[in-house]
Structure 1
Amino acid sequence: MEEKNKAVSVSRPASIFAKIPTINKTFLAFLFLFVLSSLLFRDKHFLSVENSMNILLKASKNGGLLALGMSFVILSGEIDLSVGAVFALSGVVMGLVGEQNPYLGIFAGIMVGVLTGAMISFMVCKMRISSWIASLSMLFALRGMVQILARKSVAIKDPVLLFAKAKLFSNLIPGFSGGISLLVLFFFVFFFLCKYLAENTKFGMRLYASGGNAEAAKLMGIEVKKVKTLAFLLSGFIAALSGVFLASSSGSATLSAGNLYETYAIAMCAIGGIQLSGGQGKLTGTFFGILIYYIINTLFTYLPSTISVHWQSIIMGILVILSVAMQSEIFHKKK
C-alpha cells in the first residue's frame, strides 16, 4: 500500500516574551527593580517602611492617579493630553474659591476636570476632532487660564481645604509611628475602584470592545460615543481630584503644578502594558507601571549630584520603548 504524503505545517514557537502575560512582565520588571534597588541602596534603607511609604505618597499626590484615569481613555482608543493642565487648574480654583467657601472650593476644583472631560468628548464624539488635537487645545487653554486666575502660587490656609494632610493609623506599623497618609489610602481605594470598573462591569466590557474595534462594537449595539465620553469624564475627574489632593497636602496651589504630567501618565500606562492603540491592557499593569516610575524617581535622589537628573528622562524613554516593543507583533508573531 502506498501511503499518501501529507503536508505537515511546522510552526515555529512564538517568542518567549509572548508566553508571558503583559501584567506579569510588568510585575517581573517591578520585582527586579525593587530587589536590585534594595541590594544597591541598603545603606539608604531602601527597604524601610518609611521609604516605602514615601514612594507611595509620591505616587498618590504627584500624578500617579493621572495614569489610572488615562488608562480608561487609552483603552477606549483615544488620548487625553489635558490632564496635567487640569491637575494645575483644579488646585488653583480650589484655593481661590475656597477662600469664600471651602466646600464649594473642593467642588469647583473637581468640576474643572469634569467640564474639561465633557468638552473634549464633545469635540471628539460630536465634532469628530482627533483626541490628540482636542486635548492638546484644552491643555493650552487651561494653562492660560491658570496664569490669568493667579499670578503667583495660591496659599491654602483653611483647615477644611487641608484635609489631605491627615494621617491615620499612627503606631499601627512596628517601627513606623508616622501614620499612613490619607492620600496613600485614597490611592489604593481609587486603584481598586478603577480596576473593578474596567474589568467587572458592563462599562468595562464596552470600553475594551470600543477601543479594540469601534466598528465591530457598534455592530454589537454598543454606543461607542457614550463609552468614550464616560472615559474622558473619568480621566478629567481623576486628574482634578489629584490636583486637589496635591494642593491640599502641600498647602498651596502652584502655577507650574502638573507640568508634563500628561506625558508621565502615558508613560506609566505604556510601561504597565496598556496598549496605546486601545482595547488591551489591565489596570493592575498600570498600578505597577506607576510604582516603577516612582521607584526610579526615588533612586535618583540617592545618586551623586554629579549625575544629571535628566538621565531619569532617558531611562523612562527607554522603558516606554521597551514596553511598547514587548506589545508589538515582533514578539508575538508565529512563523
Structure 2
Amino acid sequence: MIKSDKTEKDIIKRFSGLNLNIKLYTMVLALVAIWIIFSVATDGNFITPRNISNLLRQTTVTGILAIGMVFVIIAGQIDLSVGSLLGLTGGIAAILNVWYNLNGLVSIFVALIIGILLGLWNGWWVAYRNVPAFIVTLAGLLVFRGILIGISKGYTIAPLSTDFQFIGQAYLTPSSGYILGVIAVFLVIYLVLNSRKTKAKYNLELPPLWIDMLKIAILIFFIGLFIFILNLYRGVPLSVLILLILMLVFSYISSKTVFGRRVYAIGGNVEAAKLSGIDVKKITLILFALNGLLAAFAGVLLTSTLNAASVSAGQNAELDAIAASVIGGASLSGGVGTVFGAVIGALVMASIDNGMSMLNSPPFWQFVVKGLILLIAVWVDVISKNK
C-alpha cells in the first residue's frame, strides 16, 4: 500500500512538471507562429533587424509591469493601479527634470522611491486592513490618475534632459553586445550544470545528459542570433537589457529563494501558509511594494523613450500586464506562474500590436484579437486544472 501511494505521488509530480513544460513550450510555439504569420503577411518586413529592435523596445514597458504583476497574481491578488502608477511616477520624474531642472538620475531615483511608497500604500490596505485588492487598486487607479492630472495641469511635459533620455533611448555598441553575449553563454552553461549538480546532491531525478547539452546548445544559438540581429540595426537597446536583467533577477527570486517559495505557498493555500508560520501580511506588503517599484521603473522607461510625459501615459497598461501574465501561464486563482512566462506573454502582446500596425489594421482589431487570446489562455488554464 505504501509503495502504491509513493508511485501515485511520483506520477502526479511528473504529470505536473510535464503540464508546466507543455504550457511553456506551447506559448513559445504560439509566439513563433505569430511571427511567421506576420512575416508572411508583411513580405518579411516584420523580421527585419530594425523592426525586431523596435518590437523588443515596445515589449519593455509591458514586460516590466508583467514581472511585478505575475508575483501579485501568484500570491492570489491583483493590482489594477499599475497603469496609473506608471503614468504618475513618470510624470513626477518629468516634472522634476523639466520644470525644476533637477538632474535626470535624481529625478528617476525620486520617482522610484515614490513608486515603492505608493505600492506600500496599496499593500497596507490589502494586508493590514483586509480590504480586497480589487477595490484597493481600483481606487488607486482613479486616485493616481487624478493626482497626475492635477500636478501636470493637463500639460505634456517635454523635452527631457539628455541624461534622462539615455535610459530609454541608448543602445549598446556592437562590441559591447558581443561581450554581453559571451557573458550570457557562460551564465547559461553554469546555470544548467549547477542545476544538475544540485539535483544529484539531493538524489533528485536527473534528465539524460544529452538533453541538458541540447538545451545549452539551443540557448547559445538563440543568444548569438539575438545579438547578431540587433547589431545589424543599432545594437542592443539599453531598455531591453534592463528588462532582461530584471527578468533574471526576479526569476531567481521566485524559484531559488525562501521568499519566492513563500509567495507560491500563499497563492496555493493561504490558510495552510499561515499555519506553517509564514507571515502572510508581511509578504503581501512586500509584494505590492515591489510591484510599485517596477511600475515606477516602467514609467521612467516609457517617459524616457517618448522624451515626454502626458496625462494619458499608462492608460490600460494594467490590463496588458494582467493579460501578459495570464497568457504566460499564470493562474488568476493563484499559486501558478513564472517570470519568464510573463515576459514571453508581454512579447506576444507587443508582437500582435506591432504586426497589426504594420498591416494597417484598424486599432479596434488589436483589442479584439488580444481579448480573444486572453480568453483562450484562461480557458486552457481551466481545462488543465480540471485534468
Q: Is the 8 A contact 1:23 1:282 kept in 2?
A: no
Aligned to 1:83: 82
| Aligned with residue 280 of structure 2, among 212, 218, 224 | 224
Q: Report the counterpart of residue 47 of structure 2 in structure 1.
A: 47
The 1:157/1:201 distance shift into structure 2, 3 A limit, reads same
AA in 1 matched with 2:31: F
Query: Would you identify which runs of 4 or more consecutive aligned residues in structure 1 move more than 3 Å?
Result: 17-20, 170-175, 330-334
One-letter amino acid of the counterpart of residue 47, structure 2: L
Per the alignment, residue 171 of structure 2 pairs with 167
Say whether the 8 Å CA contact 2:90–2:299 is kept in structure 1: yes
Partner of 1:291: 347
Structure 2 CA distance for partners of 1:287 and 1:64, relative to 1, 3 Å = closer
Q: How far apart in 1 are the matches of 2:55 and 2:88?
A: 25
Deviates more, 1:247-256 or 1:127-136: 247-256
- SS of the residue corresponding to residue 33 of structure 1 reads helix
Q: Deviations over 1:285-322 (max 9, x none)?
A: 11211111111011111224xx4211111111111111
Q: 3-state DSSP class of the match of 2:261?
A: helix
Give the whole-Å Cα distance in 2 for the aligned partners of 1:247 and 1:206.
34
Cα pair 2:49 2:233 within 8 Å, conserved = no
1 CA distance for matches of 2:316 and 2:298?
15
User: How many Å apart are 1:19 and its aligned residue?
Assistant: 8.4
- Whole-angstrom distance in 2 between the partners of 1:106 and 1:189: 18
In the other structure, the counterpart of 2:134 is 132
| Structure 2 residue 374 is matched with structure 1 residue 320 | yes
Shift of 1:112: 2.3
Instruction: Give the whole-Å Cα distance in 2 for the aligned partners of 1:169 and 1:123.
Output: 46
Structure 1 CA distance, aligned partners of 2:250 and 2:343? 10
Equivalent residue pairs, number: 314
Counterpart position of 2:222: none
CA apart distance, 1:239 = 0.6
Tell me the distance in 2 between the aligned counterparts of 1:32 and 1:229.
Answer: 39
1:211 to 244, 260, 267: 267
**Partner SS for 2:46:** coil
Deviation, structure 1 residue 181 = 1.6
- Counterpart residue number, 1:72: 71
Aligned positions of 1:1-335 closer than 5 A: 21-41=22-42, 43-60=43-60, 62-98=61-97, 99-102=100-103, 103-151=105-153, 152-164=155-167, 165-170=169-174, 173=228, 176-304=232-360, 307-328=361-382, 330-333=383-386
Could you say what secondary structure the match of 1:221 adopts?
coil
Greater Cα shift, 22-31 or 126-135: 22-31
C-alpha RMSD over aligned residues: 2.0
Which residue is 1:11 aligned to?
none
C-alpha displacement at 1:122, in angstroms? 0.6
Q: CA deviation at 1:332?
A: 4.6
1:31-60 Cα offsets, whole Å, 9 max, x none, are 22222222332x242222222111101111
Query: Contact 2:62/2:346 (CA < 8 Å) preserved in 1?
Result: no
CA contact (8 A) 1:63 1:258 kept: no
Provide the secondary structure at the position in 2 that maps to 1:180.
coil
Shift of 1:163: 2.1
- Residues in 2 aligned to 1:284 and 1:146: alpha-carbon distance in whole angstroms: 32
Q: Compute the TM-score of the two structures, normalised by the length of structure 2.
A: 0.77
Of residues 145-154 and 168-177 in structure 1, the stretch that sits farther from structure 2 once superposed is 168-177
Give the whole-Å Cα distance in 2 for the aligned partners of 1:86 and 1:170: 35
- Stretch moving more, 277-286 or 19-28: 19-28
**More helix as a share of residues:** 2
Task: Give, in angstroms, the shift of residue 158 of structure 1.
Answer: 2.0
Q: Residues 76 and 227 of structure 1 are in contact (CA less than 8 Å); yes or no, is this contact kept in structure 2?
A: no
Alpha-carbon distance, 1:101 to partner: 2.3
Give the distance between the partners of 1:128 and 1:81, measured in 2 at CA: 17
More divergent stretch after superposition (21-30 vs 230-239)? 21-30
Q: Secondary structure at the match of 1:167?
A: coil
| TM-score, normalised with respect to structure 1 | 0.88
SS in 2 for 1:160: helix
User: Is contact 2:53–2:233 with CA below 8 Å preserved after alignment?
Assistant: no
1:24, distance to aligned residue in structure 2 (A)? 2.0
Secondary structure of the structure 2 residue equivalent to 1:162: helix
| Structure 1: gaps of 5 or more residues | 1-13
Distance 1:19 1:293 in 2: 21
Q: Could you tell me which residue of structure 1 aligns to residue 189 of structure 2?
A: none
Separation in structure 2 between the aligned mates of residue 170 and residue 201 of structure 1, nearest angstrom: 35
